[in-house]
Each structure stands twice: as C-alpha cells, then as structure tokens.
Structure 1
C-alpha cells in the first residue's frame, strides 16, 4: 500500500465525499477515484459503498480505517525522526489553538518564533479546544495550545501554561448589575450566554454549579468568547468570561463584574502533544518558548489523567 492511496482513502472516509476529498488533496476527482480503485485492487475488497451521492464505508473500509491512520502516523513519525538528525529547525509545524488563546496569549510568542525560525512553515489552525485535542490524539495535529480538559487522556503529554480566572459579568443595565452580593441561586434564575455544552469550559461551569445543586438557564450558546462578550454587552444574559478578556470593559463600565459569593472559577490553558509521537525540531523549539512563558501559578496546577 502506498501512502498516497491511504491518504486518499482517509480523505474520502473523513469527508464522506470524493469531490471534497479531491479539494482537500488538491487533486482531480478522477485521480482520487483511481487511487481508491488501486487500493481496493490491492486488498481485493470494496472500501466504499456509493449510493446516489452518499459515500459510506464498507465493513472492509471500517477495518482498514484505524490501520491506515496508524500507518500514515508511523511514516510521518519516521520522516520527522530522520529530519531531526540534522539539528536544523525547519519544515512544517501544524499547530492548533483556540481563537481566545490566539488573540490574547500567543501573539508575542508567535512573533518571536517566526523571526527566530524563518525556515519553519507554520500551519496555524484555529479550532475549538475539543477539536484540537482530538486532532492531536488522532495524529493530524503535532501540537495544540488550548483550554485543557479536566481529565486529559493518558496518551497525551499535557502542560498547563496559564490559569484563566473567569469573571461573572453582565451589562450595566442588567437586573443583577446593582446587586452588592449575589447568590448562585439568584444568578441561575436569569438567562446565561455561555460556550456550547460539549466544551471543556462549559463542563467546568456545569460541574461547579452542580456541586451547589444548581442548574443553568442558558438562553444562547456559542464557542467564540468574543461573540459571547458582544451578547453580554447587548443584554442577552450574563456570562462567565476570562478576566484578561473583560477587565478593560469592566474598568470602562461597559460591563459589570457580578459579586457572586463563591470561590473563583478558574480554567487551565496549556499545550498538549502525543506521548508516542516523535516531535519535529520545529515543535521542540516552540515548546521551549512556551515553557519559558509559563506562569508560576500554572506550574503547581494538577491535572489528573484518565485511568485506563
């Protein structure tokens, strides 16, 4: 099996379409079909069922899928290991990050990195933290800088870099904005605007409220924190947003920090890489920069891993 055929197979399997796979691989659709046909000929089994415009994996396709991913990861890993022998810092670095971290934490680090290592082709991907986390697990992304899961997968090396304190905020004319002290019970009677229910941040918030026997009234959700801040400003509800993101708005009185009578809610931000992956020199150099930027509070942050 050649790697190009396996790449075509994975592209069709992931996208569910020969035409979308062709776009991703910068090939024509007949070229993708030819690679799939060649692969099917080698294994003497059909990999996809084509019914109308729908493309689905056959039983043989489902069996090949994880093996194809593992083969391509192994090939890439070997290339990186050999490339690292020269000691040069170059090549491609696929790095994923969330929009919030990309806007508020990374700019000075990235600016210095690209100046110091001009031969690195930085493929910067803005993804939800949960997507980036899965991308590192699957081997599609070399490293990610994201909101960290409460219980990281043991296959990942996870390093906290910064700790975000989350502030309860609302607009200045919100019914709760004049309160001198605010209970969680009263807060939960009002609509919130928060990240989606499957995000690490929302899960953290839900766990804190559940520990008090409370549940949220969520009016609207979006995973983009800048959009959440706009929705709070518009009076659509209260929210929990990072201090670093809203402190200027609070200072200008555009937003009000709500005096909720509980201990601060905090979330860790950091990087993650796969423990079994050989990192490129470009990735190792990036990790050195990130470690140097690590906050003292994050060094003591404990992240329990999942048990297997």
Structure 2
C-alpha cells in the first residue's frame, strides 16, 4: 500500500476511538460529530482492507489487526506534535501542544503550582494532561505517547527513558488518632499486628519500598487492604479501619505517626524511602515546550529541596 493513500485525519480518528473506547468519546475529543467519526473509520477500514474494531453493543474493542496498527499511529501522532511545535515556536513565544503524563500524587501534590505558572506564562500552549499510576506514566513516555512525565521512580529503570530525581520522600507509618489513648503515639508492633495495613497496589514502586521495609522489620499484618491512590489510603486510614505508610505531604491532623520502638527514636534511615522525578524519552530531539515546563519544575523543586543528579 502506498502511504500517500492514507489519510491523517482518519488515522487520528482511529487513535481517538482506540484510546477512549467509544465513538462518542472520540467525537468529543476531536470536536466533530459521532457520524463523522463513524464515516472516517469506515473509510479507513475500507482503504486498509480489514476491520479495526469489533462492535460490542455500546463498546468497541480493537481487533488483532487494529492492535498491530495502534503503536505506529501513536508514533505518527508524536511526530505530528513535533511538527506543530517546530512550526509554532518562535524566539518570543511558545505555542502548540504539550502532552504530560503525571502520577496522581505528583499531579495533585507536587506540581499544581507549576501547572498554574506554566499556563499563565504560556497561554498559547495546550496542556494535554493524563493521570496514571507511575508505571503507566513512565511507559507513556517510553512509547512516545507523551513528551514528559513526573512520577515515582522504579528501582529498575526502563532503558528507553532518562530519569532525573527531584524529590525524595521518607514514608511514615501512621494510624488514626482514636487508636492513641491520651494522645500518646501507639506502638508500631502492636498496631501492625492488630490492624490491617492499607497499601497501594502490588508491583508499584511505592508498594515495593514498603514491602521491603516490612520484610526488614519482619512485620506481618493480619490483613492487607489495597487501594490505588495514596490520597484514598490517607482518608481510609483516618477512619481507623487500618494503618498506613504515607508520605509527609499526606499526613493529617487525624493521623498520628506510629512509634517504631527503636533505640534512638524514629530515625529516617529506618523508614521506607521513595524517589520521584522527571522522565524524558531517550533518542528524541529536544522539545522546547517540555524544556520550558521542566525549568519551572526545577525552580519549584529547588524551593522544596535539592534535586539529585540524572540517572540513565
């Protein structure tokens, strides 16, 4: 097939349907009507000679051939973004579209101020934000779906990306204040063996750090409650149904730090640590919009604490 026979709008419509899971959602993203989405997709399937989706009631599911096509179309979208950025960037103003992947925690607790300042400073830039768990955010950069990500960094790095540590957090074991009679901190060993532990999902970087810490202390909770987002864990821990291990930014008045019971007090070296930072793709040309955003993040991170060196 001659690539010149393919229509860019039709391919981007296919991508929108694949990523949103429905024709109506794709129409909203593309600012066109739902019949226009159906027409474009039918024309593309006719040109390619095979079906891209199986229609299952109100849902659409990628066919095998559609799954094979999806990565190439995502790469095409990334190249088109680069073209738009190159065309719109001038010496005086930045414009275009900047796709960012953020972990829920980074987006809600570390970067709100940066997002506000960037939007004010570069009003011609469309910030296309997507929120995911850290592992998915990193993968989106690796596959070219987004130009930049901010998330919790895993122990083992993907060789398709470069990471830069900006924040390091010491996680704190906490329990609801009602479990602390007289306002005195409860002991970790007693609470840890009596109440369920509320944890993020398995295979996440934060969960790995906490699990390693539990193993080191040989502490086995009677039950585990899994919730995806740390904010939700903090809310549930405050009810008293279980204890949790949280970053300092999520400590609340109704949560009390547990007493580790170690000689010398609750030293940071005896608590789980995690690193958060910036993820950029390897092997791609510099992205002026991503660089502008990164500069604002650096300024904010410097105020919160020293940034560490780049790790490839």
Say yes or no: TM over 0.5. yes
Query: How far off is 1:180 after superposition?
Result: 7.1
Residue 286 of structure 1: aligned partner: 293
* Residue 269 (str. 1) matches residue 269 (str. 2): no
Residue 127 of structure 2: aligned partner: 122
Matches for 1:149-164 after TM superposition, within 5 Å: 149-164=154-169
Query: What RMSD over aligned residues (CA atoms) do the two structures have, in Å?
Result: 3.1
**Local SS of the residue matching 1:89:** coil
Structure with the bigger RCO (C-alpha within 8 Å, sep 6+) is: 1
CA distance in 1, matches of 2:81, 2:235: 42
CA distance in 2, matches of 1:269, 1:18: 36
Q: Please give the per-residue CA displacement for 1:254-299, whole angstroms capped at 9, x wherever unaligned.
A: 3221122471211111111222444532221111222334456541
CA distance in 1, matches of 2:193, 2:103: 28
**Local SS of the residue matching 1:27:** coil
Query: How far off is 1:80 after superposition?
Result: 2.6
Q: Please give the per-residue CA displacement for 1:173-224, whole angstroms capped at 9, x wherever unaligned.
A: 32798567644x9724531122233432122212332455554444533333
- Structure 1 residues 109 and 72: alpha-carbon distance in aligned structure 2, compared to 1, 3 A threshold: closer
* Residue 32 (str. 1) matches residue 42 (str. 2): no
CA distance in 2, matches of 1:297, 1:46: 52
Given the two structures, how large is their TM-score scaled by the length of structure 1? 0.81
Q: Please give the per-residue CA displacement for 1:18-77, whole angstroms capped at 9, x wherever unaligned.
A: 333333323222211211222122222232333555533334323322222222222323
Residue 71 of structure 1: aligned partner: 76
* Residue 47 (str. 1) matches residue 49 (str. 2): no
**Local SS of the residue matching 2:202:** coil
Query: How far off is 1:3 after superposition?
Result: 1.8
Gap regions ≥5 residues in structure 1 = none
**Local SS of the residue matching 2:213:** helix
CA distance in 1, matches of 2:246, 2:39: 50
Residue 255 of structure 2: aligned partner: 255
CA distance in 2, matches of 1:53, 1:243: 44
CA distance in 2, matches of 1:266, 1:187: 19
**Local SS of the residue matching 1:299:** coil
CA distance in 2, matches of 1:53, 1:208: 46
Query: How far off is 1:104 after superposition?
Result: 3.2
Cα pair 1:191 1:237 within 8 Å, conserved: yes
**Local SS of the residue matching 1:226:** helix
**Local SS of the residue matching 1:62:** helix
Gap regions ≥5 residues in structure 2 = 1-5, 263-268
CA distance in 2, matches of 1:242, 1:76: 36
Matches for 1:188-199 after TM superposition, within 5 Å: 188-199=193-204
Query: How far off is 1:130 after superposition?
Result: 3.2
Query: How far off is 1:85 after superposition?
Result: 6.0
* Residue 299 (str. 1) matches residue 308 (str. 2): yes
Residue 17 of structure 2: aligned partner: 12
**Local SS of the residue matching 1:149:** coil
Q: Please give the per-residue CA displacement for 1:131-183, whole angstroms capped at 9, x wherever unaligned.
A: 32233233332222222222221111211111111111112232798567644
**Local SS of the residue matching 2:171:** strand
Given the two structures, how large is their TM-score scaled by the length of structure 2? 0.80
- Structure 1 residues 107 and 170: alpha-carbon distance in aligned structure 2, compared to 1, 3 A threshold: same
**Local SS of the residue matching 1:173:** helix
